[in-house]
Structure 1
């Protein structure tokens, strides 16, 4: 293929803060970071640059659920191709997700842990599968699941090439296995680093203002989402929950419950779908979406695309205009009644349930494992949950409102 030579300065393209990350060649390159820390974009730039540098290298990109890859890693890698101005050299396929470097036939494969056989059975057409990128690794709750993934990067590699995992995530919970496995050890084969938004020279004033506001108004979140420190989780609101794959046949006797919490710029819109077995006091968490910047039209279209057009939905009544607009689009939605002490009454009722969460509901798992009781300035727990990690928690409570009221709670 004949193309005009393109000269780029990688420091100018990549920016600062990642020199050690860029040059490390050990087995595990692990980066926990805050939001806007460039960790995913830098990773994408590294892979596109080095796929073209090493003609025998192939890459496997993994997240817990396949459906989350298109709007995350796949988009980041397409962005990197464009930023490096090498669009003409790459073939981009969306069904299934796949990127091919045209001059050599090297490929970037995308897989979800929700289909483990497809992860462990990849056979490359050209060269070797030597690199893997696990994005949002915090979603992987079981270390043994990662061990299974790790085994997929095996065998000999040509001279000059090396096998490597890149593991990126937001560090919400200090008790996660990732901390002990990679950050609490001294191993030359592991690079474990922390980055934050302060190394991102491309943030504008409005971006920086968002973090400064977070620092002032929500220091707990700022420590994690701003500085990339480990989240300290103490005093969970809901403790009786497990993550387990289940089928619709298993829950066919249960009643569907759906709830919607509105967000837009800073907070996500959160949609919850569950199945309630009231006699057995079990709640099965089946599906979700969790996205920022959604108009009401986009919310409607998303719910329809997910197949929930006929479900009865209870939404946040603080947004009556949005409720009315979604009704006009033919969604079967009503506003939550709320009322005095509604949050605590709902929480107490849900605490009596056994909550079984389908593994694909990664945002729900993140929230419920970080949804804790508020504390006063002395560290004493207060009788109310924190105003954080609560978008799907609120959507779940709205979804169960009729059951809570029906069981004589003052709502």
Structure 2
């Protein structure tokens, strides 16, 4: 039988050779998007796994539901690239890739609750390597220590568990992962590496992707520095660059609307309720069509949920009739139950509660859309409040030197609604990778 010889040096760029050669037990790979650090880690893990008949590998992400489309597929890709796919069984329930002969495996775990992993048992052999993918998603050093202690406690007769950490640095210099990496620079047990797409000497990246990256660079240089060079650029005072909010006098003739989504931020006694209607176009642009805004402040008689339900139904009916398009998704703050229940009771309309993340992460996804130059708004009277609130939207200066910065919670209702829309439609908008 003819054997195909695969040269690893053909599969990785030269800047990653030191990563491949290092003997240090902890390897930290930071870098910009598309720097191929995850590809190199997966290749290294598979190559080392094949040399050890008793070794197992554990791959981890903070949120378990993302494992199947990230770590799992990345390891599978590396197995195919090395031409050894016939040696493995690819299981999906549980998520596990098993070597047919040795019965050792690649295990994939979410770390939604690190303590749940303390009872994890590997049936055969021992854990030879750990991979923390998207390290910045984890809650902090405590998460990492709890997981590591679970898997490195076994004595391996002089061998050490190899631990890989990969992530794109958050823009906030005070994010825990940035400070943690800095603290490891002089630690003899740690190998620190940074990479960017610009080091792709072998042309693995497509021309289409490179054009897209150049578009980011042209539209928002700071965003490009952070997202694709992996530089820690800081947050600044203002949340958004208003040059990325493009006004339109009317809808473009050459870019038809595909569908419409809505997003709602609800208020209470003195807080406003907001509905925004966003169009997605054939050119993948987003256009703010209309903003509905009600503030109960200084009103002696305030609207009840039944009143707001009626208002919402009339508003959304008008949107449908005006643009002759269907409404695809109607998003609402997950913390709001009164209006959501009232709308369903009155009109059998289900509003979709957004699964909220940290504020800085939700804002980063909005930045991604804006930096691509894809956001527009109809310059109408109704939409003025949207622009005014975004123009004033600021980080809270007292929280900037922390790993969990906050925004100023004042006149930010349309800002929240915009974030709900983007984060509830990431895949549709092409912002989820």
Give the Cα separation in 1 of the matches to 2:385 and 2:23. 55
Q: Given the alignment, which residue of 42, 47, 50 partners 2:48?
A: 50
Q: Gaps spanning 5+ residues in structure 1: where?
A: 239-268, 284-292, 295-310, 353-365, 373-383, 400-411
1:182 corresponding residue in structure 2: 181
Which entry has the higher C-alpha Rg, 1 or 2? 2
SS of alignment partner, residue 15 of structure 2: coil
Q: Name the structure 2 match of 1:396.
A: 420
1:148 has 2:146 as partner? yes
Report the counterpart of residue 13 of structure 1 in structure 2.
11
Q: Deviation per CA, 1:375-399, whole angstroms, max 9, x where unpaired? A: xxxxxxxxx99xxxx9986143799
Q: Among 98, 104, 107, which residue is 2:105 paired with?
A: 107
Instruction: Give the distance between the partners of 1:111 and 1:397, measured in 2 at CA.
Output: 29
Question: In the aligned structure 1, how far is the partner of 2:131 from the partner of 2:34?
Answer: 19
Kept after mapping to 2: 8 A contact 1:112/1:119: no
Partners of 1:224 and 1:230 within 8 A in 2: yes
Per-residue Cα deviation, 1:104-130 (whole angstroms, up to 9, x for no partner): 111111111114344222211221123
Cα drift, residue 103 of structure 1: 1.8
CA deviation map 1:13-37 (0-9, x unaligned): 2332211111223232111111110
Please list, as runs of the form range in 1=range in 2, the aligned pairs for 1:88-103 lying within 5 A after superposition.
88-103=86-101
- Residue 214 and residue 348 in structure 1: after superposition, are their counterparts in 2 closer, same or farther (change >3 A)? closer
SS in 1 for 2:101: coil
CA gap of 1:348–1:281, structure 2 versus 1, over 3 A, is farther
Q: Alignment partner of 2:70: what SS?
A: helix
Paired residues for 1:4-403 under 5 Å = 5-159=3-157, 161-173=159-171, 174-184=173-183, 185-200=185-200, 201=202, 202-235=204-237, 237=239, 278=268, 324-326=325-327, 339-345=383-389, 394-396=418-420
- TM-score of the superposition, structure 2-length normalised? 0.60
What residue number does 2:293 align with?
none
Closer, same or farther in 2 for the Cα pair 1:217/1:28, shift >3 Å?
Answer: same
Q: Deviations over 1:192-251 (max 9, x none)?
A: 11100012231232222222222222111111222122231233659xxxxxxxxxxxxx
Tell me if structure 2 keeps the 8 A contact 1:60–1:111.
yes
1:226 to 1:395, Cα distance in 2 relative to 1, 3 A? closer
CA contact (8 A) 1:90 1:99 kept: yes
* 1:35-78 CA-partner distances (Å, limit 9, x unpaired): 11001111111111111112222111111110011111111111
Aligned-residue offset at 1:146: 1.8
Q: Which residue of 2 aligns with 1:305?
A: none
- Residues 107-116 or 66-75, more deviating: 107-116
2-structure distance, mates of 1:79, 1:193: 23
What secondary structure does 2:194 align onto? strand
Judged with a 3 Å threshold, the aligned counterparts in structure 2 of structure 1 residues 122 and 15 are, in CA distance, closer, same or farther, namely same
Q: State the aligned residue count.
A: 308
8 Å CA contact 1:171–1:231 kept in 2: the answer is: no
Shift of 1:281: 7.1
The alpha-carbon distance between structure 1 residues 104 and 144, as it changes in their structure 2 partners (threshold 3 A), is same
Offset of 1:156 from its aligned partner?
A: 4.3
- How far 1:94 moved relative to its partner? 0.9
- Partners of 1:159 and 1:272 in 2: CA distance: 59
The Cα shift of 1:327 comes to 5.0
Conservation of the 8 A alpha-carbon contact between 2:46 and 2:75: yes
Report the Cα distance in structure 2 between the residues aligned to 1:134 and 1:278, rounded to whole angstroms. 41
Question: In the alignment, which residue of structure 2 is the partner of 1:256?
Answer: none
SS in 1 for 2:69: helix
